[in-house]
A and B are shown apart, each in its own frame.
Chain A
């Protein structure tokens, strides 16, 4: 995709004037190719070359932003078809729909759940990102009122859903400063919507009837100067949605098809009436390339699994999330508190420290550097074995903080007992704890120094 230094050099003035800060155009071209310079540093590059360079260096799938400030939401920019090839970049946005014909309680409930359902996990906060305001009545005033309410009561990104440009305009008057995503331009209203989108500087969704139709619309809108587009292929049958999502991603990445080089939005909320099924379909859309999924409702039991699915699909497959090794104090431990050891895989740390907190028994937790591997995996890989764990315990300085000499190892690592005892010497007593962390609270309550 990206141009080489030589290709870029051909587009530069080749006068070696040096104003860009390096002595030659070639050197500048090399820096550009390596991402170490900005094209703007050369005052003499022609408009034509600029356009060509911008075009060639644009990502195959455009990055589109919704919202402003801290909760700005980014989608697109993806470069691979399978997560192991690189990493999926921008996690799918999860949104909930409220309509202007919903009872007040139903709207309030959804907004409330949108705000309160958030979960701490491995050092991250997992929550939904977007609220979609949908016009069913066709009444501009009602739509604007609902948009205002959502803007005032939540901090997430907003999606405005109406195919009537006048109603859209009203919605944008209410919350345009939040840079909502507009949904949607169709064959019928594209010109009017495009005008409104330009005026307010908002991203616009294109809703087509199949990918022929979508391509035609995006081409028309980009020609009119709109570049921040999002695609709804129009499909609602799961099989068709699945197919369209794959075709759009492949067309952009494998065929460099510019007309489909935009992030997508999927509407599980229009695919079924059952929230369980809807949420399950949303997980399919997360795995297969959806930029946003819209749901009819969020419940703890539905949103939480979906957030886990998104986290799993979007974590960096190259590098496990790791916690820094060392001594962690949980609940204000004293010199008589128990000492436990575990690995530095973030998930393991998160689970084990959570269970220790649940026990309400203050404790010391020693995190051994296992290069981000879980206890069992690290043990199998020779990174959570007797001498390594023993060294970590001796070196971390826990001995100075406690009066006793007892240390609890994970039940699954029972096999390291002998080696660890040997490494630590006879002062220490090694205790094999439970295997599953769920049994840690009961175990700690029984523990005696």
Chain B
């Protein structure tokens, strides 16, 4: 009995977005089918993993994920270098967490200084991520954009309320941006339209649909991303045809179950392996839903996810 493969056809393509500078530029996107549906389309570029680097030593990370970085945790530039040279990071995600007005409230000048050091320390593309406080991010990322002109950074999160200031800064100083909207396909589309109207070139946009960790709201993000891809690829929704970035590690490692010791939770097994799987599984599900850039943390989780991508793209 001959089985006829039930393939579907697509009428849209995800845009190819170049990131980083000169010889070290990498490209993301370009998919012509649902994620990894390679029997009926192409993924010309492997999804990439950007490794977390924090601008100040994180205070609330569980031991399991501090350990790989304990020798560099006070020095973001050395940290970034370690990610690249030891763990093979294809990108670095510099998290300006200390600029959060509810935390240390570090100044924009301090953020600029750290960013410059990190950008100088590595050749891979650098994503610079604000604290999530929209007013502060506007101030900080604007100054970073200017001070690091020519560095071809990726700046995020750029939200509706900050898109004018940050969009203009990205255009002026030639950076890409991560357009961020709260788990809503219409809001994502709307922001991309606004950015287009402002004159931000398509090649300078990736989309951050907002993600949550496994067991903590991931299901919503998964479905929004699936719908996003569906609209982009089968309904010719041009303003959704952008690669997607998922800032996932910070969501995973903050949850209770990623932090409990074996004594506190004997039924949850080994804390290191548990944390690694929580991170890797969150990443895997987001990849299946359409993630192009994954911001991750634990080297073991990254290794597992890389292996998975290789498996799914193997001939």
The interface of chain A, by Cβ under 8 A from chain B, is: 82-84, 116-119, 121, 210-212, 214-216, 219, 237-239, 242-243, 246-247, 250-251, 254-255, 257, 259-260, 276-277, 279-281, 283-284, 287-288, 299-306, 308-309, 311-313, 315, 317, 347, 351, 354-355, 374, 380, 435-438
Contacts and interface: CB of A to CB of B under 8 A. Distances in A.
A319 B267 CA distance: 30
24 contacts: A82-B227, A83-B223, A116-B267, A210-B3, A211-B5, A212-B2, A212-B3, A239-B313, A255-B6, A276-B273, A276-B280, A277-B304, A279-B281, A281-B308, A281-B311, A300-B270, A301-B268, A301-B273, A306-B281, A312-B218, A312-B219, A312-B285, A347-B217, A436-B254
A99 to B, nearest CB: 23
A201 B278 CA distance: 40
Contacts of A211: 3, 5
Given A215-B3, A305-B281, A300 B266 contact: yes
Nearest to A260: B3
B277 A279 contact: yes
Given A216-B1, A277-B307, A283 B270 contact: no
B312 A301 contact: no
B268 A304 contact: yes
Given A302-B269, A312-B215, A280 B223 contact: no
B215 A301 contact: no
Most buried by B among A237, A257, A305, A317: A305
A211 B39 CA distance: 15
A238 to B, nearest CB: 4
Contact of A283 (B219, B254, B285): B285
Contacts of B284: 280, 283-284
Contact of B214 (A116, A284, A305, A437): A305
Interface string B261-278: 000011111110110111
B1 A219 contact: yes
Interface of B: 1-6, 8, 36-39, 102, 182, 214-220, 222-223, 226-227, 230, 254, 256-257, 259, 265-271, 273-274, 276-278, 280-281, 284-285, 288, 304, 307-308, 311-314
Contact of B269 (A83, A246, A300): A300
Q: Which 7 A-B pairs have the closest CB atoms?
A: A300-B269, A301-B269, A301-B274, A308-B215, A238-B311, A250-B6, A312-B219
Given A257-B6, A305-B274, 15 more contacts: A82-B227, A212-B1, A215-B1, A238-B314, A247-B6, A254-B6, A255-B4, A260-B3, A281-B308, A301-B269, A312-B222, A315-B219, A317-B220, A438-B254, A438-B256
A312 B308 contact: no
Nearest to A118: B267
Contacts of B215: 121, 308, 311-312
Nearest to B3: A211
Contacts of B277: 276, 279-280, 301-302, 305
B1 A259 contact: yes
A280 B267 contact: no
A212 B304 CA distance: 32
Contacts of A281: 308, 311
B300 to A, nearest CB: 8
Contacts of B230: 82
A284 B311 CA distance: 12
A246 B277 CA distance: 24
Contact of A300 (B2, B256, B268): B268
A284 B285 CA distance: 7
Nearest to B2: A212
A438 B277 CA distance: 21
